[in-house]
Chains A and B, each alone.
Chain A
């Protein structure tokens, strides 16, 4: 690990100012990803500004029926929250499908969005990687492709976003609150995380020094009938090959509302807008589920080592929709 200075700021504004003004500075919250990357010298901040005690550790009811999760709430507490278990079960399940209890007790709601890819080349400083070292090239294409993206990748980068929580957050149209050098703003989760394009080192749209302070879950009736399924190489404690967050509401045999998002397939949680559009108002049949999944994956550009993800994602979408609509019947 490279030497660094550790600071506890007195308030969010001074933490933001420190990180804005010093390009070597970084925020520290749970540290489960950052400290690990520092050990491997993938991340080499010269200053760590500890913000965990500065941001809210509470989950509040919002007047519109939604919930506001403070950025400092641990992943464990989000997953265990009674309201979230009842109103947004796919979010509880997504979090519980990720990492271990030990890590979820440390990791925060805000930090979870900002964890870096687990692409093995990003984490190995001996190999070229455009995300870690802009312009150095991509070692992953033609290398270990199993974990790579099938949707929205670029020549420069085919890494996937590792979060399970963020997939469910994308499905419910969660919105993050931030405080940065230009003041406060809100950003929908679906716009917070980005595709790699020709700037794969930018995982998200946050400015230097901009801190996530809370996440809002909007009221969403369909989310009460939702599930998260994660397909992985071992039964627990592994990253997703493919994951699906799904919510569906059926009335008179027709799909009244639906939310679908995929994990493990792209540089960001992949909200399946095409499939949702195909399903809205359509009969809730196996045939339509297949057609919607195929429409969503029509744009997939798999590599030789991850082509299996295309049928895996389609089949997982279909089986989730089948299970959720059978339960609702």
Chain B
């Protein structure tokens, strides 16, 4: 069944008609040509499709486009300011934090959101003091908080230092 929706993606508004079955991920990739979110598992298990929705990281494969109507979406493509890459993107390049690169846009978006969550004082399951005001993003915290993003090449050994460089300058 077709519905007309409004999507706000990386600061631009798009009006489009989609079948209700279309996920946000498919709308971004197939209809708007924004292929930075990747389709890995398509079941919310790998994190390759991670985007920000109203400032929070979500798996876009499990969001129906029609339910995301009006929400503010940011993809990895929208993190850069023109030709100026986001610090997390630069750190991934500097640390060679990928091999095939397929999970990378999801990792980058997830890492950006992860740092904001930590700044807001959100705990993780490995946080010793749940009541602490300040979250210290040590490697264990980074690994736990990034566990929703799988890397089939297992580039974790470089992903964690890349994120750490931005998280603990």
Chain A, residues 160-187, CB within 8 Å of chain B (1/0): the string is 0000000000000000000000000000
Known contacts A36-B44, A39-B43; A86 and B131 CB within 8 A of each other: yes
Chain B residue with the shortest CB-CB distance to A100: B148
Give the residue of B21, B64, B110, B127 whose beta carbon is less than 8 angstroms from that of A102.
Answer: B110
Give min CB distance, B106 to chain A, whole Å. 9
Stretch from B51-59, B83-91, B95-103, B159-167 at the A interface: B51-59
CB neighbours of B131 from chain A (8 A): 82, 85-86
Contact, CB under 8 Å: A92 / B130: yes
B114 at the interface (CB under 8 A from A): yes
A236, B143: Cα distance in complex, Å: 9
CB neighbours of B145 from chain A (8 A): 101
A120, B58: Cα distance in complex, Å: 24
Give the residue of A6, A35, A82, A105 whose beta carbon is less than 8 angstroms from that of B23.
Answer: A35
Contact count A vs B, C-beta below 8 Å: 106
Interface size on A, residues (CB 8 A): 37
Contact, CB under 8 Å: B62 / A36: yes
B20 at the interface (CB under 8 A from A): yes
Chain A residue with the shortest CB-CB distance to B127: A96
Chain B, residues 58-91, CB within 8 Å of chain A (1/0): the string is 1100111011000000000000000000000000
Contact, CB under 8 Å: B130 / A89: yes
Contact, CB under 8 Å: B47 / A100: yes
Chain A residue with the shortest CB-CB distance to B66: A6
Contact, CB under 8 Å: A236 / B44: no
Residues of B at the A interface (CB closer than 8 Å) are 1, 3, 19-21, 23, 42-44, 47, 50, 53, 56-59, 62-64, 66-67, 110, 113-114, 117, 120-125, 127, 130-131, 143-145, 147-149
A265 at the interface (CB under 8 A from B): no
CB neighbours of B63 from chain A (8 A): 31, 35, 106
Contact, CB under 8 Å: A106 / B59: yes
Give min CB distance, B118 to chain A, whole Å. 11
A235, B125: Cα distance in complex, Å: 11
Contact, CB under 8 Å: B144 / A36: no
A32 at the interface (CB under 8 A from B): yes
Give min CB distance, A124 to chain B, whole Å. 13
Give the residue of A1, A6, A93 whose beta carbon is less than 8 angstroms from that of B67.
Answer: A6
Chain B residue with the shortest CB-CB distance to A4: B20
Contact, CB under 8 Å: B57 / A3: no
A97, B124: Cα distance in complex, Å: 8
Give min CB distance, B79 to chain A, whole Å. 16
CB neighbours of A100 from chain B (8 A): 47, 59, 147-149
CB neighbours of A16 from chain B (8 A): none
